[in-house]
Each structure stands twice: as C-alpha cells, then as structure tokens.
Structure 1
Amino acid sequence: MITTTDLTKVFRADGRETLALDGVDLHVRPGEVYGVVGTSGAGKSTLIRCVNLLERPSSGSVVVDGRELTALAPKQLREVRRSIGMVFQHFNLLARRTVQQNVELPLELTGLTRRQRAAKAAELLDLVGLGEKAGSYPSQLSGGQKQRVGIARALAGDPKVLLSDEATSALDPETTRSILELLRRLNQELGLTVLLITHEMDVIKSVCDSAALMRRGRVVESGTLSDLLATPGSELARALFPLGEASVEGTLVDITFQGDSAVQPFISQLARTYNVDINIIGAAVETIGGRQVGRMRVQLPGDFEDNVVPIGFLREQGLQVEIASGARVVEGAA
C-alpha cells in the first residue's frame, strides 16, 4: 500500500545542508498497522510528511495505492491526497468552529451540500465515540477527545491510508491506550492501512503489526514484529522486550517464544529432564496481533560446552535461542 524507494530529503538553510532522510526504503502492506520508531531527530516526522508530499523528497520515489506520488502533477496529487488521512500530534483544530464544523472542514472542498456534510460528520463522530459532542468547541474537550475529533476529520475523505504523526505523545497513558484501541478498531473495521510515527516502544508493542527503527535518517531495521522477535540480535526485539542486565557466572541464554510455544512449560520440562538448576533473570510476555509472544533470559550453570544438550532441547521445542554470554562460547554458537 505504501512503498518508499531510496527516499532522500535534504534541508537547505543559511548555506547549510541537513540530510534528514538518507535512502529510506519502506514497505507497508495493505491493511496493516506499521510503526516507525526512533529518537528525536531520527527523521521520522520528515518521512511521514514525505509520504503524502507535504514535504517533497529531494530524490527517490513514494508509491501509495499503486500511484507514484512523486511523479504526479499538482492537480493529480491533490486528488490522491483525499485517500490519505493524517492525524497530528497537536490536534490542529480550529478554536472558533464546533466539533462538527471541524470535521466538516475537509468536506467543504468536495462539493457536498451542507446537509450531506452534516450527515457525514455525524456519522464519523459516532464512529470515534463523540456523537454527543458535535456542538461543543475544542476548548471544552479533553486532550483525548480533541484527538478523536482529529481522527474523525482525517477520515472525512474515506481514506485508504491513515498517517499518524506522534498522535499520542501529548496524551496521558490511559488516554493513549484508548486512542490506540480506536486506531486498531478503525484499521480492522474500515480496512485502513495505518502508518504511525512514535518514539514510544509501548505504542509499537500494543498496536503495530510491523515496525521500523530509524536512526540518523536511515531505516536500520524493519519487519513484522514476529519476524523481528525471531531475528538474533534484533535491536527492536530487545527494546520491545527488555530483559535487563546481570553479572552472573555460567551461561546466559535469551529465549524468544510465540504462538503455541508460548504456552508450553519448557522451563520446568528442561529442569526435570536434565536435572539442571535454572535461574530466570528477566522475562516479558505480551499479546501482539492476537498471539502471545515474549522473551526470557535465563542462567544455566557452567560454560556453553556444558549446556549444549539443554540448549538443543530448547531449540527442539520451536524456541528461538541466543547465547547472551558464557565462558568460552564457541564461534557461531548463537
């Protein structure tokens, strides 16, 4: 649904050049929620603004729903943008317009009658749970309610794609959770493809199907969450499921489990089968995409060579196993 190829953006000011995007390749499949995460200055917001060409890339291409936006004339681009909704961090509501009038704003350019605009706005406000607030003004709303109005307005053009630029970063945790649940529901009920920008790993973990990690204008890692969890050395997997550090003797083993393996008592089976003392250093388990997934760090007594058979047993259970540390670990053991 969204593909960027070798996307580059250079900002020029006062004789200086700043490389904000450095050859970004991104592929978002139809109907998925895709999160882009990174620290401030990583290029996330520039990327999402380039997707709908609010910022025109310096080079590279952007394809949305089969159309290359970077090759379109201005009139064609305006038409295509109607199928791309955008939700902003700071709501961008007009203070002197009611909630309903804010939602109607993009519809005023479509040729709909006043009655048709009102009916569409009422339908969208009901969809986001704010039907009773149609006559209120933004100053009378909470932050979460303002963001729901922003989402309703973004849906006014019946978009196929919804872009979210740090839409929850100004909200408290409970409100953030409700907005993320709304985005997931809209994704499922309307078949929306959602591309969201965030600096919060909890957002990625709670709502996304796939994710990309950005650093200094580049995508350094990307994939579905299940694939990332199964990738040895994945930075995103470590950040999504932090296991902590521990200075212990013996062999530290990181275990990733998902699907059917997540409900198997593999630790107790290992301890009974091989009469081995296992120390659980850290663990994190979540439900992602309807599947239970997680990671666990355990300590096995002795060096790696002493634990080849127990580690093999874990892998036979369909678990992803990495050797975090262990004296005299043989090359390629991880």
Structure 2
Amino acid sequence: MNAPCPATPRAAHSTVTETHVITTQGLTKVYRSRGREVTALDGVDLHVREGEVYGVIGQSGAGKSSLIRCVNLLERPTSGTVTVAGQDLTALAGRGPRAGKQLREARSRIGMVFQHFNLLSSRTVQDNIELPLEILGKSGKERSAKALELLDLVGLSDKAKAYPAQLSGGQKQRVGIARALAGDPKVLLSDEATSALDPETTRSILQLLRDLNQQLGLTVLLITHEMDVVKTVCDSAALMEHGQIIESGTVSELLATPGSELASALFPVSGDATGADRTVIDVTFHGESATQPVISQLSRTYNIDISILGAAMDTVAGKQVGRMRIELPGRYEDNVVPVGFLREQGLQVEIQGPQGESAPVLQKEGVTK
C-alpha cells in the first residue's frame, strides 16, 4: 500500500453543519488475482455536499473507476463504509455476490452515466430509457410518459423512435443521461462520461449536467482525467493518486491553497528567473481581484519593472480565475513590501525558487510543503 503524500496540502471544508449526500470512510478495495493483491483504493475518505458537482480527477490507474463503482456498490469494498443520502449501503450489501432487495432499491435512487453509453442496440431510444422503469415494475403508461418527459429534458424529444445506431456520440450520451434519471435519483454518478466525445460535444454534455444539477437539485459525482472538465463544471474536486485522495476541497479553496497541485494543473504557468538577482512570483487572481489592474498598480506604486513570464486565465463557476507568473528585480528580501502589497489586494502569492519550486518562505500555518 502506498503511504499518503505528506507534501501536498489538503483543503478542508470550513462548515461542519453542511449536508453531505455521499460519504466514504476508510474505503479500501483490494483485487486478488492469481495469488497477487492489487490495492485500488487505500483508505479513501470522500465527502460530497448536497447539490454540488464534485469531480474526482487522476491518471489512469489512480483508482477513480473503482471509487465510483464502490459508491453504488457495483464493486463491493474490501473494507470501509459508503453512505448515500443518509443510508449506509455497505450495511445493505450482505454476504452473497447478488444484491439483495434493499440494496437494489437504494441503487435505484442513484443514477449512473457510463463512458461508452451502454445502450441496447435492439431497443429504440424511448425503450432504452424505459428499461430501468420496467425493472422497477412501472406500468407501460407511466414508463412512456416518463421517458418522453426525460427526452424533452435532454433535448432529444424528436428521437424517441430512433435506434442508437442512428445517433451521434453526444446524442447517445444524452440518452444515457436520460436513462440514468428515470428513477428520479437525487445522486448522479458520471464515469468518464465525456472522454469518448469531441471537445464541442463534451462542452454541451457538461453544460447539460450543470443544468440538470441546478434544475433538479441533483448532486453529481463525476470522475475524469481531464482538467477542463473540473474547470468547466465542478464546484469541488479531489485529486487521486495510487488509490488515495491526496488533495480535496472546493475549487475556490484549492486555488487559494499554496502549493495546490490541482490549482497548478488547472491554471499551469511556467518560466524561470532570468538571473540570480530576480524574484519569481506566482499570483492567483479570483473573485473581484481578477478584474483589477493590480500588476500595473504595483509597477506604478513602487516604480519597478515587472516581467510577465506566463499567464493563464479562464472562467470557473461563472467567475474569472487566473494565475500569472511574474518576475521582479532584486532578491526576495528586496521585494517584501511589493509582495505585501499584492497580498493586501486579496491575491494569493507564491514565491518560486530557482527551479520553479515554491519557496518555503510562503508556508502558512497548518500547510506543509
């Protein structure tokens, strides 16, 4: 098993009274094959708040898929607990390989969207959406009305009688989303739902997920390996490596956390000092500070020449957010006052060392690097 990485900060939620719809505690999943053990999940604690879009990001093999499949117990955890909407699903699992009635009922309230759509080619679009309602024992009239309502919701009201082979990839995924909503779930799980789609279609599917999140009050847990997905649609995010969550929090918290790997990956900037007598600083702008001419004010106030080595700016959750790497003349001790000026403007400031590493001077209480 891999030990937790001590060098990475982990953002903490500040409110203890908020409602968590999805919680995992000490979640471990060990696969055994041919005498070998592979630990896919290693003591994962996850807390997803009601009504948010939460993204879990990591490279292939990080444990993301095992995590999301353990949330609805498609994979049985080796140890630990999974609680969804106040119900401990691991307590319902039983000992046999087949899910019991209580677990099946609990799963019906959790929608799941798959990477490769998983539509039945022999069924029409409407019939695919009706399938989970058939399993729930709904009448034909109820199934038909619900399917047509959901098709309208995902923008495919004219495709009810079409077959999957007649649809584009984006349309197939919209059908998959509609099918996942058939049981009126409060939680929607998305397993790499956009990774097989082109960029434009990906944007439309992400916007649909956000719209559904807001219109239906859905709590959405999605896994992805694409930073743009987190940037576009997520309220909170977690970074997974080697079966562990090494960093988590709201996107705004992460952006304000010195040394955050997720923040650096969302808004990558680069550039080295042009000389030994230069100070390189990473500045993070978010909220009102993103629209203020802070760098030009700094230059005028202290009559210093500032070089911009790199910059990245985008919109996250409807707000402009960006990072900029700048170079100031002189060593750090010569720039204490200008750095203080930037912090007074509400900016996150991170001093960079000679090879681009964060300098220890920026350590905050409770954050190690």
TM-score (norm 2): 0.88
Is 1:186 paired with 2:186? Answer: no
Percent identity over the alignment?
Answer: 72
Which of 77, 85, 88 does residue 65 from structure 1 map onto?
Answer: 85
Is 2:285 aligned against 1:257?
yes
1:332: which partner in 2?
A: 361
Question: Aligned AA for 1:85?
Answer: G
| Equivalent position to 1:239, from 251, 257, 265 | 265
Unaligned 5+ segments in structure 1 are: none
Question: For the Cα contact (< 8 Å) 2:284–2:323, is it kept in 1?
Answer: yes
CA deviation string 1:62-91 (max 9, x = no partner): 000011100015211111111100000000
Matched with 2:67 is 47
Q: 1:207 to 1:113 in 2, by over 3 A?
A: same
After the TM superposition, which residues 82-161 of structure 1 pair with which residues of structure 2 at under 5 Å, given as runs?
82-161=108-187
Distance in 2 (alpha carbons) for counterparts of 1:217 and 1:169 = 21
**3-state DSSP of counterpart to 2:270:** coil
3-state SS of 2:304 partner: coil
Residues 30 and 330 of structure 1: is their aligned pair in 2 closer, same or farther, counting only changes over 3 Å? closer
C-alpha deviation, 1:326, in angstroms: 5.8
2:206 corresponds to 1:177: no
The one-character-per-residue Cα deviations of 1:29-64 (angstroms, maximum 9, x if unpaired) are 000000000000000000000000000000000000
For 1:312, the equivalent position in structure 2 comes to 340
Q: 1:304·1:326 contact (CA, 8 Å) conserved in 2?
A: no
Q: Equivalents in 2 of 1:245, 1:278: separation in Å?
A: 14
Instruction: State whether residues 272 and 280 of structure 2, in contact with CA within 8 Å, keep that contact through their aligned partners in structure 1.
Output: no
Amino acid at match of 2:237: A
Root-mean-square deviation (CA, aligned residues, Å) is 1.4
Task: Describe the shift of the 1:61–1:312 C-alpha distance in structure 2 as closer, same or farther (beyond 3 A).
Answer: same
Task: Kindly provide the amino acid, as one letter, of the partner of residue 227 in structure 1.
Answer: E
- Unaligned runs of 5+ residues in structure 2 are 1-20, 95-99, 364-369
State yes or no: 1:24 paired with 2:44.
yes
1:324 Cα deviation after fit: 1.0
CA distance in 2, matches of 1:102, 1:245: 52
**By how many angstroms is 1:128 displaced?**
0.3
Q: CA deviation at 1:332?
A: 2.6
What is the CA distance between 1:263 and its match in structure 2? 1.2
* Alpha-carbon shift at residue 110 of structure 1 (Å): 2.1
Distance 1:126 1:330 in 2: 54
Secondary structure at the counterpart of residue 170 of structure 1: coil
1:34 maps to which residue?
54
Asked if structure 1 preserves the Cα contact closer than 8 Å seen for 2:22 and 2:85, the reply is yes
Contact 2:25 2:43 in 1 (8 A): yes
SS in 1 for 2:30: strand
The match for 1:288 among 297, 316, 337 is: 316
SS of aligned partner of 1:332: helix
Q: 1:130 to 1:280 in 2, by over 3 A?
A: same
Instruction: Describe the SS at the equivalent of 1:17.
Output: strand
How many residues are matched? 333
